[in-house]
């Protein structure tokens, strides 16, 4: 299905639900035909017509719907071990286990929901084939061109919504392109004129030509064929092919392959001799490529070794010198958490949000967390506000990234629908996992909600088997929403009167997976919060953490409504939170919770219709009304249950009152309201002989705390209490740094000290 941008805008949540239900019903209905033979199949002429034109690629924005069908495991048996079958043997809604279809494409491929093409078997039977989850960076022509011979391992066959049929491939690893001369290619598909024993040199030349045209996939194919054609006598050529393939693989993001190739491209020094200058130069290139691949795989110490080798092979090499400088920064970041966050933040923008930094995970380890599964634990003491870890996204898709297509993903396994980056994230992840098997092993270690079967990624027919359904299950349990550039962007433009983080939502909508952070369990009142600077997740401590403590953070902000937030964690992640706030909510009387919810709704309305600006200040009557709401809401918190714990429903109103009194310059009132707001967020504030002390034990770090601290800071200063003003400012800065990762934008929001 493909709609234009206008259609895209008119599709509502209800439409998606209806679409999901319709597809689900169609899928269930189709099950009734399981095992049947397809009837009234379109013939070759129809398929030729269907796939006669390139495209569709019209101008404008396209909405595509991607249905994740009922899960089935990928094939793990090699083509040679499977029994060949022909198209007429296919049965509907059936996974043909133990069988393989050898097919040739004969149309011009099109990207509809998947990349599709017309295929024929060796007896001339025809059908349509749909390949899902392909690399979004590749054109349909690169993914499934005309005239290639493919093996579809253990194929699945199904009826389509348009009344036709298709061989549906959900796991890209189930489809293997067979190179010319492959033993499984039937005689009918062998070219009539075959140039037997094509010299490997010719493949190198075609690879280079493809590379020059930026067809890196084509180049990799040619170099691979060249390597297969190499004989003992082709010594140097073999190194050339590996070196060239390393480069093409680097550009395709296939870093593990690139590293292996670059290593295989190093010309060895013979026992007695020295390498000639030309070979040394070539080895410099090979080591340089190995270094780049190791860097991309975040093996910085190893990358440094390779770049050192470049310097040995080609002394004075400027590129290697530059790379070693870059690596040195990464090693500092990785080992000490030594980041220049201000520079990082300054450098990131809507067009530069994939940043070049290392991960710092040296202060944490994964351990058993009892009922919560595995968790992340501190390996050293960490002070409030300090860095716990910092990690680059394993995969991320930014909403802001220009694309001519928006995907809506409907997962029939989980009944979930999502739009935009979520779907594209899966395509990106599948690519990364398919071509980087070691990275795939790390990804597939993440929580999958009990998905079965759990296949470990292995290489079959030269391709890493990736279970795309499990990859999506893992993504659903582990992905985080993130802003397009940095978390503080929402805050610097937020209207304080609104309270909470709502206004930040418009800066969100991007989504990614951060692998190590994925081991962190949820707690509404966690000891850590995450912030984003570009694709770097920065996690800081909201209170002091001791060696051995579990790191927890909120997946979703409970805001005022505890029960709703518990439902959200239950629906999205399958658990009910047992943190201090939730335990208190559970111990509260249901009628108090109900009253709180009803009052919160009224308060929301009140705040919405009483937005404060210098021009429209609060009236005495509205302040009285707010105070009354406040008292009523406060009464829904039984102190025997909530003492010292955050009372989040009071947050927005507390904020409004601070602002109202601030506009009236009632400084003592502002201070009283600000202290009350901070106490409601669980901060234990004490002032003794003009010294501010803060107990963070039960604190709930959110934006309103920063505002409250700054209201107090300004009010104290206004009253000439400089020292207290300064202490509150420092407190606000610590909160800002904790919540947004770094301090750079604090001044932008609150002005210079
Ligand atoms: C992102 S993973 C966190 C790491 C996970 N515990 C593991 O073993 O890999 C999210 C899953 O962890 C578990 N989890 C996280 N927080 C929890 C909590 N507060 N209580 C119970 N289970 C929790 C749930 O199974 C949830 O779906």
Does 615 or 94 have the greater pLDDT score? 94
CA of residue 566 to ligand 1 center, whole Å = 13
For the ranges 23-32, 100-109, 234-243, 451-460, which has the lowest average pLDDT? 23-32
Mean pLDDT of the chain, nearest integer: 89
389 domain-assigned? no
577 CA closest ligand 1 atom index: 19
**CA 467, 472, 477, 483 torsion: positive or negative?**
positive
pLDDT one-digit tens code per residue, 467-501: 999 999 999 999 999 999 999 887 765 443 333 34
**pLDDT band at 369; cut points 50, 70, 90:** very high
Question: Are 168 and 83 part of one and the same domain?
Answer: yes
Q: How far is residue 357's CA from residue 333's CA, in Å, rounded to a whole number?
A: 7
Neighbouring residues of 708: CB distance < 8 A, sequence distance ≥ 6: 654, 655, 658, 673, 674, 675, 677, 678, 681
CA of residue 377 to ligand 1 center, whole Å = 14
Question: 505 pLDDT exceeds 50?
Answer: no
**pLDDT band at 156; cut points 50, 70, 90:** very high
What is the percent of the chain with per-residue pLDDT over 70, rounded to a whole number? 91
For the ranges 30-34, 184-188, 716-720, which has the lowest average pLDDT? 30-34
518 CA closest ligand 1 atom index: 1
CB of 627 within 8 A of CB of 578?
no
Question: 137 pLDDT exceeds 90?
Answer: no
57 domain-assigned? yes
**Antiparallel, parallel or unpaired: β 405-411 and 395-397:** unpaired
Tell me the best of 524, 528, 573 to mutate to test the pocket of ligand 1, counting ligand atoms within 8 Å of each CB and taking the most.
573
CA of residue 517 to ligand 1 center, whole Å = 12
522 CA closest ligand 1 atom index: 16
**pLDDT band at 2; cut points 50, 70, 90:** very low
User: What pLDDT score does 506 carry?
Assistant: 46
CATH, residue 19: 2.40.50.140
289-306 burial by CB neighbour count: b if 16+ within 10 A, else e? bbbbbbbbbebbebbbeb
396 domain-assigned? no
Q: How far is residue 656's CA from residue 622's CA, in Å, rounded to a whole number?
A: 11
For the ranges 403-417, 453-467, 545-559, 686-700, which has the lowest average pLDDT? 403-417
Question: 504 pLDDT exceeds 70?
Answer: no
**Nearest alpha-carbon partner for 477 in 516, 447, 441:** 447
Does 414 or 575 have the greater pLDDT score? 575
User: What pLDDT score does 501 carry?
Assistant: 41
341 domain-assigned? no
Question: Are 188 and 206 part of one and the same domain?
Answer: no
572 CA closest ligand 1 atom index: 27
Question: Are 127 and 260 part of one and the same domain?
Answer: no
478 CA closest ligand 1 atom index: 1
pLDDT one-digit tens code per residue, 687-712: 999 999 999 999 999 999 999 999 99
Neighbouring residues of 418: CB distance < 8 A, sequence distance ≥ 6: 408, 409
Has the ipTM of the complex gone over 0.90?
Answer: yes
Tell me the best of 365, 367, 369, 373 to mutate to test the pocket of ligand 1, counting ligand atoms within 8 Å of each CB and taking the most.
373
CA of residue 385 to ligand 1 center, whole Å = 24
CATH, residue 278: 1.25.40.10
User: What pLDDT score does 706 carry?
Assistant: 96
How many Cβ atoms are within 10 Å of 592's Cβ, its own excluded? 15
Please say which residue of 306, 336, 366 terminates a domain: 336
Tokens of 514: 């951060």
**Type and span of the H or E element at 603:** helix 590-609
Tokens of 234: 């082709």
* Protein residue with least CA distance to atom 21, ligand 1: 372
**pLDDT band at 62; cut points 50, 70, 90:** low
At 620, phi and psi to the nearest 5? -60, -35
CA of residue 513 to ligand 1 center, whole Å = 15
**pLDDT band at 404; cut points 50, 70, 90:** low
3-state secondary structure of 79: helix
Q: How far is residue 124's CA from residue 105's CA, in Å, rounded to a whole number?
A: 11
Question: Are 114 and 216 part of one and the same domain?
Answer: no
Please say which residue of 164, 192, 220 terminates a domain: 192
626 domain-assigned? yes
Q: How far is residue 261's CA from residue 257's CA, in Å, rounded to a whole number?
A: 6
Q: What is the CA radius of gyration of the chain?
A: 30
Question: Are 172 and 302 part of one and the same domain?
Answer: no
* Protein residue with least CA distance to atom 15, ligand 1: 521
**pLDDT band at 287; cut points 50, 70, 90:** very high
Number of domains comprising the chain: 3
374 CA closest ligand 1 atom index: 8
CA of residue 477 to ligand 1 center, whole Å = 9
Question: 660 pLDDT exceeds 70?
Answer: yes
Please say which residue of 287, 302, 336 terminates a domain: 336
Question: Are 82 and 162 part of one and the same domain?
Answer: yes
Question: Are 294 and 311 part of one and the same domain?
Answer: yes
Question: Are 143 and 269 part of one and the same domain?
Answer: no
376 CA closest ligand 1 atom index: 4
Question: Are 591 and 737 part of one and the same domain?
Answer: yes
**pLDDT band at 64; cut points 50, 70, 90:** low
3-state secondary structure of 385: coil
The total number of residues shown for the chain amounts to 753
pLDDT one-digit tens code per residue, 221-263: 899 989 988 887 888 999 999 999 999 999 999 999 999 999 9
Q: Which domain holds residue 91?
A: 2-192
Question: Are 70 and 163 part of one and the same domain?
Answer: yes
Question: Are 162 and 233 part of one and the same domain?
Answer: no
Question: Are 140 and 285 part of one and the same domain?
Answer: no
35 domain-assigned? yes
CA of residue 372 to ligand 1 center, whole Å = 5
CB of 497 within 8 A of CB of 308?
no
544 domain-assigned? no
**Nearest alpha-carbon partner for 248 in 214, 200, 197:** 214
* Protein residue with least CA distance to atom 7, ligand 1: 374
Calculate mean pLDDT across residues 147-158.
Answer: 96
pLDDT one-digit tens code per residue, 550-609: 999 999 888 656 677 788 888 889 999 988 888 888 888 899 999 999 999 999 999 999
Report the pocket of ligand 1 as residue ranges, CB < 6 Å.
372-375, 447, 477-478, 518-519, 521-523, 573-575, 577
Neighbouring residues of 47: CB distance < 8 A, sequence distance ≥ 6: 106, 107, 118, 126, 127, 128
């Amino acid at each position: 299905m493909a709609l234009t941008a206008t259609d895209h805008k008119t599709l509502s949540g209800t439409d998606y639900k209806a679409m999901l239900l319709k597809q689900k019903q169609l899928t269930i209905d189709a099950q009734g035909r399981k095992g049947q033979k397809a009837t009234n199949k379109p013939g070759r002429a129809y398929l030729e017509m269907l796939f006669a034109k390139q495209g569709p690629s019209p101008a404008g924005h396209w909405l595509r719907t991607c249905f994740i069908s009922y899960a089935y495991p990928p094939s793990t048996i090699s083509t040679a071990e499977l029994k060949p079958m022909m198209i007429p043997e296919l049965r509907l809604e059936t996974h043909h286990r133990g069988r393989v279809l050898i097919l040739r494409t004969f149309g011009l491929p099109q990207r509809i929901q998947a990349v599709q093409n017309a295929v024929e078997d060796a007896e001339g039977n025809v059908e349509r084939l749909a390949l899902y989850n392909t690399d979004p960076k590749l054109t349909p022509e690169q993914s499934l061109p005309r005239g290639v011979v493919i093996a579809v391992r253990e194929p699945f066959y199904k009826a389509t919504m348009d009344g036709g049929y298709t061989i549906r491939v959900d796991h890209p690893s189930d489809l293997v392109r067979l190179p010319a001369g492959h033993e499984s290619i039937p005689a009918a598909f062998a070219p009539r004129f075959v140039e037997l024993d094509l010299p490997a040199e010719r493949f190198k030349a075609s690879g280079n030509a493809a590379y020059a045209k930026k067809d890196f996939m084509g180049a990799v194919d040619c170099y691979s064929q060249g390597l297969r054609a190499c004989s003992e006598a082709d010594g140097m050529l073999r190194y050339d092919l590996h070196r060239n393939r390393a480069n093409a693989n680097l550009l395709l993001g296939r870093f593990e392959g690139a590293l292996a190739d670059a290593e295989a491209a190093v010309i060895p020094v013979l026992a007695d001799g020295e390498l000639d200058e030309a070979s040394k130069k070539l080895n410099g290139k090979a080591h340089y490529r190995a270094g780049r691949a190791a860097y991309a795989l975040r093996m910085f110490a190893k990358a440094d070794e390779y770049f050192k080798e470049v310097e040995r092979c080609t002394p004075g090499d400027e590129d290697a010198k530059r790379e070693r400088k870059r690596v040195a920064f990464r090693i500092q970041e990785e080992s000490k958490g030594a980041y220049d966050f201000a520079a990082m933040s300054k450098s990131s923008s809507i067009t530069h949000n994939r940043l070049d930094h290392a991960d710092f995970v040296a202060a944490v380890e994964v351990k058993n967390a009892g009922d919560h599964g595995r968790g992340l634990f501190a390996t050293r003491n960490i002070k409030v506000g300090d860095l716990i870890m910092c990690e680059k996204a394993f995969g991320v898709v930014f909403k802001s990234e220009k694309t001519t297509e928006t995907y809506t993903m409907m997962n029939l396994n989980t009944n979930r629908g999502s739009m935009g980056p979520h779907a594209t994230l899966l395509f990106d992840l599948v690519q990364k996992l398919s071509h980087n098997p070691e990275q795939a092993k790390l990804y597939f270690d993440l929580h999958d909600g009990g998905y079965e079967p759990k296949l470990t990624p292995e290489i079959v027919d030269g391709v890493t088997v990736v279970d795309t359904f499990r990859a999506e299950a893992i993504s659903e349990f582990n992905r985080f929403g993130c802003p397009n550039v940095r978390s503080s962007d929402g805050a610097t433009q937020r209207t304080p009167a609104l309270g909470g983080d709502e206004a930040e939502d418009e800066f969100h909508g991007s989504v990614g997976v951060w692998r190590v952070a994925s081991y962190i369990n949820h707690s509404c009142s966690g000891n850590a919060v995450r912030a984003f600077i570009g694709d770097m997740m920065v996690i800081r401590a909201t209170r002091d953490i001791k060696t051995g403590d579990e790191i927890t953070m909120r997946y979703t902000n409970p805001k005022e409504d505890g029960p709703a937030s518990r439902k959200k964690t239950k629906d999205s992640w399958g658990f009910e939170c047992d943190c201090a706030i939730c335990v208190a909510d559970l111990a509260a009387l249901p009628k108090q919770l109900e009253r709180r919810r009803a009052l919160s709704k009224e308060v929301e309305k009140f705040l919405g219709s009483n937005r404060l600006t210098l021009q429209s200040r609060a009236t005495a009557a509205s302040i009285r009304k707010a105070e009354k709401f406040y008292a009523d809401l406060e009464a829904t918190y039984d102190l025997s249950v909530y003492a010292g714990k955050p009372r989040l429903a009071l947050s927005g109103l507390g904020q409004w009152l601070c602002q109202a009194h601030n506009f009236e310059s009632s400084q003592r009132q502002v201070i009283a309201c600000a202290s009350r707001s901070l106490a409601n967020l669980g901060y234990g504030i004490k002032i003794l002989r003009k010294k501010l002390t803060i107990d963070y034990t039960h604190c709930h770090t959110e934006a309103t705390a920063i505002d409250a601290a700054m209201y107090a800071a300004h009010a104290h200063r206004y009253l000439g209490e400089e020292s207290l003003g300064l202490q509150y400012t420092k407190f606000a800065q610590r909160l800002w740094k904790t919540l947004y990762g770094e301090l750079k934008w604090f001044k932008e929001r609150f002005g210079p000290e």
